[in-house]
Structure 1
Amino acid sequence: MADPFLSILHVEKSFGSTRVVQDFNLDVKAGEFVSFLGPSGCGKTTVLRMVAGFEEPSAGAIVVGGKDITRLRPNQRNIGMVFQAYALFPNLTVAQNIGFGLKVAGASRADIDKRVAEMLALISLPQMADRYPYQLSGGQQQRIALARALAPKPKLLLLDEPLSALDAKVRVSLREEIRAIQKSLGITTVFVTHDQEEALSISDRIAVMYGGRAEQVGTPFEIYNRPQTKFVANFVGTLNVLEGTVTDAAAGKVGVDGGELVLKDRLGEARNGDKLSLALRPEAISLGPQPGRNTRLAGEISEVHFLGSVIRVRVGVGGRTVSLDTFNNPASPPPAVGEKAEISFSSGDLLVLS
């Protein structure tokens, strides 16, 4: 990785005796779009607020563009931030809201008007300049908030769950627009969200957070397909977890629900009798035998959920339930609850969780 543009180094934050961020480390390169993904209370917004300067770290350092900004005030950092609540000034027009930061910085009226026009064109709302926030939809207000953050030409953009107050269709549309704008400007961006689909769809990399720590940092492909911990595997996407027992460590054999799996070169230092958690995504499982899927387990259909193009089937196998996804086929109705079934998958698709 090239020299990072943003470095968060061993940062910690405590409120009283409660540690909400613990030894958090992350490097972000120039122009990269990185998301903090995790459940409520995991510390992701606290880290963002420390980068913005609204909270002071209890320990550690924050470096932007080679400069230590850890103790600088927010207005000394040249960072743009968009909040979950739009935080627009209700008594100012759209143009006045966008130009507010420039006015405070002492820019000339001509420069402010020019930059405001550029920002309105960027967010595709040139006709809204004279309107007030109450006259705009939620999606339009968040676009204005984004334009206001970008107007002073910040070197870093922070987005704190900016889409969570919007309805589903607007949220999808606006996240794609934010990503397109970020790419066109090439601005380094950190995005906070609890929505895994959101993070997977627009990020260059994702930092999955839990308990104030970064559990795993990687590309969306790596986070989804190669989770390194049980928490990441469970939090990102739907997951089946099978509990197995090592029956022959030398041969890589693990017993699971009456069947035996071969996990060569993936058992590490496990010994005979050790318990293992094995993860499997629903799309890696088929009903009935399929070419290339060398493992089969017998069960019974317990639930069938029609989701349009995809049908999610839950199969009782031994003492647990396994979910699998299959495409809708109008010529072939889905299985019925209570039917006997056999599921198949490749042992190579199993993840051994730590």
Structure 2
Amino acid sequence: MAFLELDNLEKFYGPVQVVKKFNLSVEKGEFISFLGPSGCGKTTTLRMVAGFETPTSGSIRIDGQDIVRLRPNQRNIGMVFQSYALFPNLTVAQNVGFGMKVARRPKAEIDARVKEMLGIIGLPDLGARYPFQLSGGQQQRVALARALAIQPQVLLLDEPLSALDAQIRVSLRSEIRAIQQKLGITTIYVTHDQEEALSMSDRIVVMHKGKADQVGTPVEIYNRPATRFVAGFVGTLNQIEGRVEDAANGLVIAGGQSLALGRRLEQSNGTSVALAFRPEALHRGEHPGEIGLTGRIAEVHFLGAVIRMKVDIGGTQVSLDSFNRAGADLPRAGDDVALSIAPGDVLVLGD
């Protein structure tokens, strides 16, 4: 049995269904990210776990106990919000210990726990300061310490880094992941940032229109997207529309060219498909054992370590990234170019 289970969760606001038959099993100590665009239902799902929203139907179980009917303060769940939500009239130490004080823990226990948490978040000497005396990154660390101080069974984070600048975000997400792994706490993290989800998570739930389009490890989500939405939302993905010519032998007509994928296809002959592949999987030149394509270079961008090209293949522009090497010839717009790609790097996506 999984530690946290979401079973057939649904949420309606009047006639509008914002979460649809959502199912997820989370193991103890796992770091799960809900990834998706605004309005996809990820924050609503998180709020149902926290108790701030009541599911229209379905169940939520933590360690075997159904918590749907419990109030938020009865769930032993820690929550970190996007807006920090620190009490401005309390010191850092008082903010961190607030939950324990409400629970009427002994003062000596609160003081010891606050000291421990300030050490974990790297602010051991700032307990006497007030939130306005801290930077945004420091305030979010305090919010994290406050959520963890009560020793919750589950930690929920709702886009906690979106209000910070890019450099602090990169640093703080590494710290959050390190703290989560050190404490071994089961965590759900909501974000619309692909890089955050890919770099921090054990598994990612890609959400679209109220449902989970795909659940998998970062490598699975990036390299083997299950739907066109996941393929287009996570990372940069080239897609060339085509038609299955011979499913048994893996032949597809795409970009005006007949391409042999070297494997039997699930789609039937005549089916419209998209051939999808990452920019880094495409190479200039012909390589034995790989699929050959021809195109014309439309754009070339020199980015130092990387040369990024746009190549027109039968009216569709695809991206190609290659590393810059000393002495390498820089291609020019208008040049005809031969391309190749390994069959295993090409995804065949149906409707």
**Equivalent of 1:188, from 180, 186, 189?**
186
Give 2:18's aligned residue: 20
Give the Cα–Cα distance (whole angstroms) in 2 for the partners of residues 110 and 333 of structure 1. Answer: 69
Name the structure 1 match of 2:167.
Answer: 169
Q: For the Cα contact (< 8 Å) 2:44–2:53, is it kept in 1?
A: yes
Task: Flag structure 2 segments of 5+ consecutive residues without an equivalent.
Answer: none
What one-letter code is carried by the residue in structure 1 that aligns with 2:108?
A
Range with greater deviation from structure 2 (262-271 or 41-50): 262-271
Q: 1:333 to 1:87 in 2, by over 3 A?
A: farther
2:247–2:266: 8 Å Cα contact kept in structure 1? Answer: no
Q: 1:213 aligns with which of 207, 211, 214?
A: 211
User: Counterparts in 2 of 1:32-71, with a 5 A limit?
Assistant: 32-71=30-69
Task: Letter of the 2:283 partner, please give it.
Answer: S
Q: Which runs of 5+ in 1 are unaligned?
A: none
TM-score normalised per structure 2? 0.97
Q: How does 1:260-339 map to 2 (within 5 A)?
A: 260-271=258-269, 273-292=270-289, 294-339=290-335
Distance 2:224 2:279 in 1: 15
Looking at structure 2, the residues matched to 258 and 84 of structure 1 have their Cα atoms a distance apart, in angstroms, of 48
Deviations 1:221-259 (A, max 9, x none): 111111111111111110011111222233221112232
Cα displacement (A) at 1:340: 2.1
1:38-89, CA deviations, whole angstroms, 9 ceiling, x for partnerless residues?
A: 0010000000000000000001000001100011000000000000111111
Deviation at residue 329 of structure 1 after TM alignment? 2.2
Asked whether the equivalents of residues 41 and 207 of structure 2 are also in contact (C-alpha less than 8 Å), the reply is yes
Q: Any conservation in 1 of the 2:248–2:264 contact (CA below 8 Å)?
A: no
Query: SS state of the match for residue 337, structure 1?
Result: coil
SS in 2 for 1:165: coil
For 2:264 and 2:334, the matched residues in 1 are separated by 35
**Contact 1:9–1:61 (CA<8 Å) still a contact in 2?**
yes
Q: How many residue pairs end up in the alignment?
A: 350
Instruction: Return the match for 2:254 from 242, 253, 256.
Output: 256
Equivalent runs, 1:226-265 vs 2, <5 Å: 226-265=224-263
Residue 131 of structure 1: how far off its partner (Å)? 0.7
User: 1:339, CA displacement in angstroms?
Assistant: 2.2
The equivalent residue for 1:120 is: 118
Question: Normalization by structure 1: what TM-score?
Answer: 0.96
In the alignment, is the contact (CA less than 8 A) between 2:306 and 2:321 conserved in 1? yes
Within the candidate set 339, 342, 347, 1:346 is matched to 342
Amino acid at match of 1:105: A
Task: Give distance in 2, aligned partners of 1:307 and 1:90.
Answer: 45
Q: Equivalents in 2 of 1:152, 1:290: separation in Å? A: 58
Structure 2: distance between partners of 1:290 and 1:248: 23
Given residue 341 of structure 1, which amino acid in structure 2 is its aligned partner? V
Provide the rounded CA distance (Å) in 1 between the counterparts of 2:247 and 2:151. Answer: 58
Cα drift, residue 346 of structure 1: 1.8
Q: Which amino acid aligns with 2:344?
A: G
SS of aligned partner of 1:153: coil
Distance 1:327 1:96 in 2: 52
1:341: how far off?
Answer: 1.7
Deviation at 1:308, TM superposition (A): 3.7
Amino acid at match of 1:141: Q
CA contact (8 A) 1:238 1:281 kept: yes
Give the deviation of 1:269 after TM superposition: 4.2
Give, as a single letter, the amino acid of the residue that structure 1 aligns with 2:165: D
Q: Structure 1 residues 349 and 110, CA, compared in 2 at 3 Å: closer, same or farther?
A: same
What is the rounded CA distance, in whole Å, between the counterparts of 1:250 and 1:32 in structure 2?
Answer: 41
Looking at structure 2, the residues matched to 213 and 8 of structure 1 have their Cα atoms a distance apart, in angstroms, of 12
Q: Which amino acid aligns with 1:287?
A: R
CA offset digits 1:81-119 (Å, max 9, x no partner): 000111111111100100110111001211111110000
- Aligned-partner Cα distance in 2 for 1:311–1:349: 20
1:34 aligned partner, one-letter code: I
The letter of the residue matching 2:281 is A
Task: Provide the rounded CA distance (Å) in 1 between the counterparts of 2:262 and 2:341.
Answer: 16
Which AA in structure 1 matches 2:280? E
The structural deviation recorded for 1:263 is: 2.9
